[in-house]
Amino acid sequence: MDLFLQYLITGLTVGSIYALLAVGFVTIYNVTGVLNLAQGEFAMIGALSCVTLVNLGIPIFGAIPLAILITAIIGLAVERLAINPARKATPIVLVVITLGVSIFLKGMGLIIWGTSPKSLPPLVESKSIEFMGAVVNSQSLWILVVLIAHLVVLYWFFEKTFLGSALRASEKNPRAASLMGINTSTMSMIAFTIAAGLGAIAGVMIAPLTDATYEMGFFIGIKGFVAMIFGGMHSIPGAVAGGLLLGVIEAFSGGYISTYYSDALAFGFLLLVLFFRPQGLFTKATGERV
């Protein structure tokens, strides 16, 4: 039982990191129709620029928002310089453009930060906490709390604010949205900025758990992508649930079977989802958002 709880908390912690990436994927995919392959790179930039800022002597709680801001601005620049000029191109061309952006950003990461892994100092003093019989690292508990807070803010933004409502409308039906007077090109810009910011949060949160390198974007991007597919590609709550589920699957298979197989199991599960529920696990059969 105590191990079960421990794996569950680990799974939810990693899962909420995937969830942030997946929400970024879904937001961009639905507002612009682009599958943004550079999403993982935003996490890399967020993590590494945070490390640099900390090394410059900025306290961690100042460095984190700064790193998120820097990454969000890079996301905005990517949209204006690479995506917006090619807005009329076919979806496949746009995906190839994002692949190019991803390679470019990774190259910049290599030039700026080199190949050696970097790590963030722990966010809080790392100690073990006993919680209902389970031994949990205070660090990962803290990360979980921060991520849940972000997911709540995201929910509030998309469901309760007018800008969030306009973004959702552009996601659902860009043409009808433009007939309301919504500038869908501005919405695309906002989507990239938000997605980059979310990627950066994910990167900053994962950096104290594992090391950050210029290459980390690829793997973490794939995890976010899988989480989005679990959620059905169109739904923000679905993406969140998908991310948490993926994290939990990995933690349990890593804990009870072997960490060697946890990736394989996660991808095996992905194939099952694609075969049997291509519309996602959490959408109703009509394809309506949950």
Partner 1 sequence: MFKVESLSSRIGKIQILHSLDFHVDKGEIVSIIGANGAGKSTLLNTLAGIYTPVEGKVTLQDDLISGLPAHKIVGKGLCLVPEGRQIFPGHTVKENLTLGIYSKYYKDRKHVEENLERMLELFPGLKKHYHRIGGNLSGGEQQMLAIGRALMSDPKIILLDEPSMGLAPKIVNEILEILVRIKEEMGTMVILVEQNVKAALKVADRAYVMDQGKFIMNGTNEEISSNPEVKSAYLGIKVG
Residues that bind partner 1 (CB under 8 A): 162, 165-166, 168-169, 172-173, 175-184, 288-289
Q: What is the dihedral of CA 155, 156, 159, 163, to 10 degrees?
A: -120
Nearer to partner 1, 57 or 181 (CB): 181
Question: What is the C-alpha to C-alpha distance for residues 191 and 141, in angstroms, rounded to an integer?
Answer: 29
| Minimum separation from the CB atom of position 92 to partner 1 (A) | 18
Nearer to partner 1, 119 or 173 (CB): 173
Question: What is the C-alpha to C-alpha distance for residues 70 and 196, in angstroms, rounded to an integer?
Answer: 9
In this structure, are residues 10 and 241 in contact, taking their beta carbons and an 8 Å threshold?
A: no
| Minimum separation from the CB atom of position 186 to partner 1 (A) | 9
| Minimum separation from the CB atom of position 235 to partner 1 (A) | 9
Nearer to partner 1, 173 or 259 (CB): 173
Q: Which residues contact 122 (CB under 8 A, 6 or more apart)?
A: 139, 208
Question: What is the C-alpha to C-alpha distance for residues 273 and 260, in angstroms, rounded to an integer?
Answer: 22
How far from the centroid of its chain's Cα atoms is residue 114's Cα? 24
| Minimum separation from the CB atom of position 75 to partner 1 (A) | 23
Question: What is the C-alpha to C-alpha distance for residues 128 and 125, in angstroms, rounded to an integer?
Answer: 10
* Residue 91 region by backbone torsions, left for phi larger than 0, else alpha for psi between -120 and 50, else beta: alpha
| Minimum separation from the CB atom of position 27 to partner 1 (A) | 15
Q: Which residues contact 216 (CB under 8 A, 6 or more apart)?
A: 40, 43, 44, 47, 203, 206, 210
Nearer to partner 1, 127 or 160 (CB): 160
| Minimum separation from the CB atom of position 175 to partner 1 (A) | 6
Nearer to partner 1, 79 or 250 (CB): 79
Local structure of 150: helix, strand or coil: helix
Nearer to partner 1, 100 or 287 (CB): 287
Token match 């072997």: residue? Answer: 258
| Minimum separation from the CB atom of position 180 to partner 1 (A) | 5
Nearer to partner 1, 178 or 262 (CB): 178
